[in-house]
Amino acid sequence: MPDLSTLNPQQRQAVETIRGPVLILAGAGTGKTRVITFRIAELLRRGVWPDRILAVTFTNKAAGEMRERIEKLTGGRGRGMWVGTFHATCARLLRMYAEKVKLGRDFVIFDDNDQRTLVARVLKDLGIADRFATPRAMLSAIDGAKNRGEGPDVFQGHDYFSDLVARVYPVYQQRLEQSNGVDFGDLLLKVNQLCREHAGLELRMAGLEQRLEYFDASDPTWEDSIRQSARHLTDLLARHQATARNILNRTTDTRDTEREGKP
């Protein structure tokens, strides 16, 4: 187990605050991941089961690094934890409940090339030949809408380009679903959809209400506070943009948040 004497006072306070939310707001290279891995090791030392802990980050590299650090700190006692990116965590949940959002459990995740090919075909079929409406630009706009929680049924155009997006988006989405496919934005959007359209499912999802008592994220990126429930966990997964407003809302929306600056 880690030696807490190697931590500074702020880091140690974050590691030893076991119950309730903790926000660590600090720049790159200041030790945020170190604090989180130490906190996880401390949870395990105090007898928390690994499958009751979830750690989420942005990149596969960061998730792999976190997993390795936890393994080294705990001597392998962290096996069974959920450690992954926002998208990987959502994909795992969707495999469990795919039929609720009209997907097969063997759904395919379209990569960037697949997405460009599909949207180019949609543009051609709709007769849209505009130098501004490139596949890349369309996909960027669609992904932005999905990250805001806007499906094709609610997306609205407000200028020339977004009006084109409003024509392309529903057809693109329909063809994705006909192929039993999702893009990266869908991984987030459809988990949110699960909770909005299926009352009570968010509390049963993957047994989260029983399993995931402790949550850590290596980036302050959530829109809504977790409030120690799986429903707000899935809100986090579906609304992961890193903005100053989201960071500040994290402390104002959650009562009794421990708030520290540089760790």
Choose among 12, 59, 226: nearest CA to 3: 12
Q: Which residues contact 29 (CB under 8 A, 6 or more apart)?
A: none
Give 229's DSSP letter. S
Name the strands in the sheet holding 82-85, side by side, starting at the edge strand that comes first in the sequence: 82-85, 53-57, 214-217
The residue with tokens 């880091």 is 11
Give 111's DSSP letter. -
Which token pair is 10?
A: 């702020």
For 191-220, give one letter per residue: b (16+ CB within 10 A) or e: bbbbbeeeeebbeebbebbebbebbbbbbb
C-alpha triplet 157, 158, 161: angle, nearest 5°: 70
- For residues 17 and 12, what is the distance between their CA atoms, to the nearest angstrom? 8
**Domains of the chain, start order:** 4-98+198-260 (3.40.50.300), 108-179 (1.10.10.160)
Amino acid at 226: I
Question: pLDDT tens per residue, the chain (263 residues)?
Answer: 667 888 888 889 988 888 777 777 777 788 888 888 899 998 888 888 888 888 888 788 888 988 898 888 888 888 888 888 888 888 988 898 899 888 999 999 999 999 999 999 999 999 998 888 999 999 999 999 998 889 999 999 999 999 999 999 999 999 999 999 999 999 988 888 877 776 555 545 544 544 444 555 554 333 333 333 344 455 555 555 444 455 455 444 444 545 444 44
User: Side-chain half-sphere of 228: how many Cα atoms within 13 Å?
Assistant: 11
- For residues 134 and 119, what is the distance between their CA atoms, to the nearest angstrom? 9
The residue with tokens 């001597």 is 75
The residue with tokens 């540089």 is 262
Q: What is the residue-wise DSSP string for 122-185? A: HHHHTT---TT--HHHHHHHHHHHHHTT--TTT----SHHHHHHHHHHHHHHHHHHHTTEE-HH
| The pLDDT value given to residue 227 | 33
Which token pair is 158?
A: 């407000």
| The pLDDT value given to residue 215 | 52
63, 85 in Cβ contact below 8 A? yes
| The pLDDT value given to residue 231 | 47
